[in-house]
A = this chain, B = another copy of it.
């Protein structure tokens, strides 16, 4: 009954097998191996982007920060939602990697940026005024941090506003696969065709050990991105082990299958929760936010249910009857039995 995060799961058998297989023999380091070449070509194929640059790193924080630093000068402003992972959960990594860029919050409900709010912020941004940081990048997350989803059309609308103001567009795709299968769109439709300039294609939350691909669609950024990765200590020597995982993941649409399963488990969870709890946001992927009395949280956690309260800082101390919110995340490894067991805690305790 672990719904704490999709990164508390391990690796599916096919990925583990790919690691074992990659372990044979010798291979040149730093991405100069055959698997890494194959992966680059495969990602280009999957994204219908024959000139894209691909850089693998092992955390989403690194991937986001490297992508943003490649798109944003030190005096740049990055426009993001106030709940964005880059703002809230990365201990200032974007500021570190960019050399001090500023994250500017754009409002919007359900963790999604409102186009008119973005337009208004950009209109008052002080472009060309030497006293102001200069608008440089738009950063979106899909799935969002609230578990909601941007459609390709919504991304295109925001990206269009951004491009009209000369900004580059970054997409934090820690749960890109979950968004993709929910949308029934192609990778290209959900990224560069919608105006995304740099995508973080997240593998870790969807079955890999620690593999994220920064995909930059404009090859003019390729060399800078590679230098930034090395300089940050994110260029793996035994690079084949990263590439092997992602290759296996992209094989036969495994990645989409894993994400579909995770989304389906969250849907089951949502349906079962409906009688017992109040939903905070629309569930559109593998993550949901719901609220029920604190006393019940106590009982559930005592019986082994694992999940985080929300927002950060929320605690189990307080009146028992007061509603307290939880974030519940399913993954590729969540089973119907685990969902049932979790829901059973409501039946028994509610």
Contact = CB atoms under 8 A, between A and B. Distances in A.
Interface of A: 2, 4-5, 7-11, 16, 19-20, 22-30, 57-66, 73-75, 88-93, 95-96, 98-103, 123-124, 126, 129-134, 204-205, 209-210, 224, 226-228, 230-238, 241, 306, 311-313, 333
Given A130-B91, A233-B59, A238-B204, A11 B28 contact: no
Contacts of A131: 30, 88-91, 230
Contacts of A27: 8, 10
A210 B227 contact: no
Contacts of A74: 92, 95-96, 99, 231
17 contacts: A4-B28, A20-B20, A59-B235, A61-B230, A74-B95, A91-B230, A91-B231, A92-B101, A93-B231, A93-B232, A96-B99, A96-B232, A124-B311, A126-B313, A132-B312, A205-B237, A232-B232
A307 to B, nearest CB: 11
A167 to B, nearest CB: 16
Contacts of A102: 92, 95, 103
**What 8 pairs between A and B have smallest CB-CB spacing?**
A62-B233, A95-B100, A61-B233, A7-B237, A2-B26, A10-B23, A91-B231, A91-B230
A195 to B, nearest CB: 25
A41 B306 CA distance: 26
A130 B100 contact: no
A92 B63 CA distance: 19
Nearest to A314: B124
A8 B26 contact: yes
Contacts of A60: 233, 237
Contact of A19 (B19, B73, B91): B19
Contacts of A237: 5, 7, 59-60, 204-205, 210
Contacts of A10: 22-27, 238
Contacts of A238: 7, 10, 204, 209-210
Nearest to A94: B100
B29 A7 contact: yes
A135 to B, nearest CB: 12
Nearest to A334: B26
Contact of A210 (B5, B88, B230, B241): B241
Contacts of A230: 61, 90-91, 93, 130-131
Contacts of A65: 233
A61 B92 contact: no
Contacts of A235: 59, 61, 130
A198 to B, nearest CB: 15
Contact of A26 (B9, B95, B130, B205): B9
